[in-house]
Structure 1
């Protein structure tokens, strides 16, 4: 075999490897992540399961599987067979809502709902959960992935009055957390209670029972929403996956 032949072989192998890489990248971009699963077949599609492009989901009656992909989130309801090929007819609203919820540093928005009746003015509907997936709900707690410990935000559901609470870490560090009326957000007091990977904290307030908050710090935060959800699933950040599942229900109910 001559030098030219060997060069051609090396070029062909390199070209095939490049094409394989492009194909794998395309598959990764097209995959879906299960963010909620209930019903008889739930064990086959557990929360956090990654599904490849063109995967077929077979559901029985009573099954509901919520998946997240590049087009947003959607609920698959059984019985039925569904192919996750991205061909589902969805407008850009789902993807826009998903991008807004997963944006780092995103602030809370005020939702308004139309009141039926002529001349009726819109009424303010208070959010029942954080509108940003990186915000921690102090009324429920749970396991949360953290993108930036220095910018971690605590969210409360009722912002009508001033509010206070106490954050206690398992090593004994403690800090008071105070909200002003009208503001649901408060930066985590990392100067006195550092955010530690894998650590559990207790948040207590005059309203409601104390809750446990576990923080899982992400060393690298993916830029792709599907990959972010996958990373959350691997870390066991079920509180955030639940938020994404709720987004799917809200989007489909509104559409």
Structure 2
């Protein structure tokens, strides 16, 4: 059985544990093929108990197709900016995100992230404007993000996104669409 990304197993008393295996499958600890793992700990990437409602602060991939990783340069496609989330992989400490116009280096907005939060909504002060933005999280290296607004008339969003350079987003959207279509059959 495949383990879906960001799967959470809920246990009694309000505790939960996020579990993922290296191959993306659930490992049955009662039977492990000989020589497959040296010990049980090797078969898991992450096991961290947490209380119900507690957000995961350190993850390797954004939680949704429309979450923009502010630490990685590249292309990002969106339908409307009000659905875009600014996301950072490490929320262990507070940091400010500076969003600038690359040509003039004028700061458009400063977005504060608390130490326990890795997502923020897209700032209202930046209107629905495709183009390049420079983002710097804390004292980190600046990243350049090129935003592409998906036309409302576009029937095949996945192909359009790939053409714009948003290949990882396109793959993820295609997977989500396939899961939705499989569930509606």
State the TM-score, normalized to the length of structure 2: 0.58
* Structure 1 unaligned spans of 5+: 1-90, 101-109, 248-255
Judged with a 3 Å threshold, the aligned counterparts in structure 2 of structure 1 residues 111 and 203 are, in CA distance, closer, same or farther, namely: farther
Judged with a 3 Å threshold, the aligned counterparts in structure 2 of structure 1 residues 114 and 175 are, in CA distance, closer, same or farther, namely: closer
Partner of 2:113: 179
Partner of 2:159: 230
Whether the aligned pair in 2 keeps the contact of 1:195 and 1:215 (CA below 8 Å) is no
Runs (4+) off by over 3 Å = 114-117, 170-173
1:131 is paired with a residue whose SS is coil
Partner of 2:151: 219
Name the one with the larger helix percent: 1
Shift of 1:221: 7.3
- Cα shift readout 1:97-139 (whole Å, capped 9, x = no counterpart): 6xx9xxxxxxxxx97227937xxx9426831121211111011
Equivalent-residue separation in structure 2 for 1:162 and 1:152 (angstroms): 21
TM alignment of 1:86-235, pairs within 5 A = 112-113=18-19, 116=40, 122-123=47-48, 126-170=58-102, 172=106, 174-191=108-125, 193-197=126-130, 199-220=131-152, 227-235=156-164
2:172 to 244, 249, 252: 244
Shift of 1:200: 0.2
Partner of 2:30: none
Equivalent-residue separation in structure 2 for 1:208 and 1:239 (angstroms): 23
* Structure 2 unaligned spans of 5+: 8-15, 22-39, 50-55, 176-185
Shift of 1:163: 1.8
Partner of 1:48: none
- Cα shift readout 1:124-158 (whole Å, capped 9, x = no counterpart): 68311212111110110311111112232110011
Equivalent-residue separation in structure 2 for 1:133 and 1:127 (angstroms): 15
Judged with a 3 Å threshold, the aligned counterparts in structure 2 of structure 1 residues 231 and 161 are, in CA distance, closer, same or farther, namely: same
Judged with a 3 Å threshold, the aligned counterparts in structure 2 of structure 1 residues 140 and 114 are, in CA distance, closer, same or farther, namely: closer
CA RMSD of aligned residues (A): 3.6
1:240 is paired with a residue whose SS is helix
TM alignment of 1:13-92, pairs within 5 A = none
From the CA coordinates, give the structure whose radius of gyration is larger: 1
State the TM-score, normalized to the length of structure 1: 0.44
Aligned residues: 134
Equivalent-residue separation in structure 2 for 1:134 and 1:222 (angstroms): 17
Shift of 1:212: 0.2
2:172 is paired with a residue whose SS is helix
